[in-house]
Structure 1
Amino acid sequence: MGKLKVRKIGNSVGAILPKEWGLKEGDVLDYQKKGNYYIIDTQQLAQEHDRQIIEESFADFETGHIVSEEEMKREFGKYGWGE
């Protein structure tokens, strides 16, 4: 189990979250309290992140930045593409 150090921030307290959690500035975390435990739920953030990646990938189709499989074979066949 990891540990977080709580620090004073103005009239409040806060903690530095590990980089490995994949959070970024401005993320809003859902949490709930169960007894003495605080449970941080990042599922909504993960769904929003995935949705953003999918939307960005569709932007290529809208702008016509797509390549066919035949074009990929022709361009990258010398590296083994399509074998």
Structure 2
Amino acid sequence: MTVAAPDATETAARRKHVAKRLNEHVKLAAAYVNATAIAVAGAAIIVRLVSNPNATLGRTNLSWFAASLALHSVGHAVIRLLRQGE
């Protein structure tokens, strides 16, 4: 039994399908990182101010906020990994 080699259209369609799947996984990873950044910012700033409206933001809160900005930047970097469709 011999196996026929896939023609060029099948190969191109397969590559396009694989690229679309990878893009969806990359988008999910970026969404996860951005959601984590929002949660960290919420825990650092919003919860603190809601629980005590007269509170001032100290270094700890600002460092957590900086961490959330870093996570958001990672989310943007992950988006750059998207493949172009052919």
Whether the TM-score (by the shorter chain) exceeds 0.5 is no
Q: Which has the higher contact order (CA 8 A, sep 6+)?
A: 2
The structure in which a higher percent of residues are strand is 1
The structure in which a higher percent of residues are helix is 2
TM-score interval for Structure 1 and Structure 2 normalised by the shorter chain: 0.3 to 0.5
